[in-house]
Amino acid sequence: MSKSTINTKVAKEVSFEAETTIVLDRLNALSDERSVWEGNQYRSATEALYSLLSKTYAAYEDHFVASKDETRKAFRAALIQKLVDDGIRIQKTSTTLGILIRYVFKSDRKRVMRYRYVIEAAKSHQIPAAALPQWLGEVGGIDGACKLITLSEETQSKRQRIAHEVSALTQDINERRTTPLAQVKVQGVTPDSRSVLIAEPNAEGGFDIVCVMPKLSDTLYDALIKSAAKQITADKAETAILNQEVETFTGVVAGNEANAQAAA
């Protein structure tokens, strides 16, 4: 290899190293800027968000959880009406907490869901509203808090209400075994197993039994109970549903403690 060729190769290597140094210096400057941003604007924005969530949490407990039935209904109705006036669609099955978050943040459903998870997770870990910002910093922020609870948007709230009705209906059925609603005999049918009577209303204000389905399986029995619970949930008065939301929210702690004791 000639001397000139070697010199050319060395020159190219020096040039490449110089360019690399320039590029790295530029990226280091950007990284330093990012560090300043995280330490100032980003941290300030995060702290402001945590503070808003804390105040929203407190407002929910003050104006809904701790209120009387009439106040809860009025509070929820006022939130819904304002959102509707602003052109924001609200589902009837939405929890009041979700509606409140939507009202405060004017955000999409996904963001509402995440913020609701944060507050529900805090409640389940017995974290009061005032301590929410500090707790979020300890658990890894919004993402960390969301991982601490398994509740799923409006569907989970509905499932909890249905589960509540299944339990109540099952208890009623057990009590009625000794004091039944009515006793009937159907010609040609031997009552030797649990059965389903299909009845239709008649003109006299009673029921006409049109079919007997014997040997009712446990699976079908459970499905019928759940179906009845769903109907009861749908027909229930607004006051009862709102009361159940409060019971569910305040009862999360007890439920989690029971699970923790069982695991131990």
Predicted TM-score (pTM) of the model is 0.51
In a shared domain, residues 141 and 29: yes
Which is higher by pLDDT, 11 or 248? Answer: 248
Of the chain, the percentage scoring pLDDT greater than 70 comes to 83
59-101 tens-digit pLDDT: 999 989 988 888 888 889 999 998 898 888 887 778 899 999 9
In a shared domain, residues 117 and 163: no
Domain count, the chain: 2
113-124 tens-digit pLDDT: 899 989 999 998
In a shared domain, residues 62 and 80: yes
In a shared domain, residues 128 and 162: no
DSSP letter (8 states) at residue 201: E
Instruction: Tell which residue, 109, 124, 133, has the closest CA to residue 56.
Output: 133
In a shared domain, residues 216 and 241: yes
Out of 95, 123, 146, a domain closes at 146
Out of 95, 120, 146, a domain closes at 146
Which is higher by pLDDT, 110 or 36? Answer: 110
In a domain, 4, yes or no: no
Owning domain of residue 185: 154-263
- Asked whether the beta carbons of 195 and 212 are under 8 A apart, the reply is yes
Which is higher by pLDDT, 1 or 112? Answer: 112
Instruction: Tell which residue, 209, 207, 212, 185, has the closest CA to residue 196.
Output: 212
User: Please, which residues bridge with residue 212 across strands?
Assistant: 197
**Range name among 11-15, 192-196, 218-222 with the lowest pLDDT average:** 11-15
Looking at every residue in the chain, the average pLDDT score rounds to 81
Instruction: Tell which residue, 224, 163, 162, 227, has the closest CA to residue 194.
Output: 224
In a shared domain, residues 91 and 190: no
